[in-house]
Amino acid sequence: MKYLKDEDDSEDASMLIFEKLLTDLKKYEIQQFKAWLHMVCKNFCLMQLRSGKTKLKHQKELQKDLEANMETDHELHLSMARMKEVQLSLMEDCIKELNKDQKICIELFYLQEKSYSEVAEMTSFSMNNVKSFIQNGKRNLKICIESQKIH
């Protein structure tokens, strides 16, 4: 208790010291048992305190690393948000370049989340034409976006 200042830690230390004594008594020839036992206990407690300080130091380092990672994650999040903005801007520009029928179908289907049948009904295109315009529009968007990224 004098060194560890905590009852549970002191009880744990007593058990560990007792186990240590069983092996150490066989190794050493002890002249003054009381003094030797005091030194074993003292050294054990000091080692526990040192390892506790080391753990505290490691915890502080871990906390610093965690804070640095959180800052990095925040920066990464901002970077990803900027990338999405750029991609959306590219997509808007590329949608403008589609032919009229593809543009209408892409906007209704993806941006307004209409079904194929709703797009066909709203545009008076056949279901096959709607599917074709959407498929060709997607392909043309992909080509346009990829060519914009290169520049």
* Model pLDDT for residues 40-74, shown as the tens digit of each residue: 888 888 888 787 655 666 566 777 777 776 767 66
Q: How sure is the predictor about 125, in pLDDT bands with cuts at 50, 70 and 90? A: very high
Average pLDDT, stretch 33-40? 88
Report pLDDT for 63: 76
For residue 146, which phi and psi values (nearest 5 degrees)? -65, -40
User: Token digits for 51?
Assistant: 């390892």
Please name the amino acid found at residue 35. A
CATH number of 98-151: 1.10.10.10
Q: How sure is the predictor about 75, in pLDDT bands with cuts at 50, 70 and 90? A: confident
What is the value of pTM for the model shown?
A: 0.47
Q: Bigger pLDDT: 80 or 112?
A: 112
Report pLDDT for 150: 65
Q: Bigger pLDDT: 77 or 10?
A: 10
**How many Å separate Cα 44 from the centre of its chain?**
39
Report pLDDT for 123: 93
Strands (DSSP E) contained in the chain are none
Q: In this model, does residue 96 exceed pLDDT 60?
A: yes
Kindly list the domain boundaries of the chain, sorted by start residue. 1-82, 98-151
Core vs surface per residue 21-46: b (16+ CB within 10 A) or e? eeeeeeeeeeeeeeeeeeebbeebbe
Of 134, 148, 9, whose CA–CA distance to 90 is shortest?
148
